[in-house]
Structure 1
Amino acid sequence: MNIQKLKSEEIFGLILGIVLSFIMFRLSFKMSEVLHFSNQIVIWVNTGFIVFFIIFGHYIVSRKVIDEKKRNEDIIGLKSNLLGFFLWFTVIIIVTLLNIEINRAAIMAGGY
């Protein structure tokens, strides 16, 4: 196994992604409190974008200093994460409309 040394821009990008994920998490909870709306859809919206924002932060900050291979991995990661998010989001909406409750852990694990 090779250990890769990350550049400072990459580390900053990962931290930015974590911060963006936290901001999205907080905004989603605030919105659900204001609307008095909390169910499995809110749980998935809160947790489904965590990996996306981490990859997004890494890509935005370090896209000019990383090599082409890492840049392509970030783009593929972003696309596949969005595809997975919306596929699982569709499943969660259908399940919610059918009044079927899913365990929180299953909601989070199912999307990833």
Structure 2
Amino acid sequence: MKKEYRIKKNKEFQDVFQHGKSTANRQFVVYVLEKQDVNHFRIGLSVSKKIGNAVVRNRIKRLIRQFFLEHKDVVDQHKDYVIIARKPVAEMDYVEVKGSLQHVLKRAKVLSRSR
């Protein structure tokens, strides 16, 4: 993901947590914050050490980024997203992660159409 598509600063994360709306399923919690002044979405990822070692956590982050890369045309562009991975994600492959993220983003009403 390009730098302009990422949320990195703690203040930006806190802004999404405090003012955004959350939606969850068993694998992910997604916080969504409306941002009208940007032309594209941004994502922030949070994968706790409780989920696994660095290899597992980085794999999960790669899978989430890949989902957003493939679905950038159907995800609402004027929003910030913070995705928190939960424990069951550690055993999932990409197809399962993709299905779970589609499910939680549909519940959050931010997918325009699904693939």
Structure with higher helix content: 1
Give the TM-score range, shorter chain. Answer: 0.3 to 0.5
TM-score calculated relative to the size of structure 1 = 0.32
Structure with higher strand content: 2
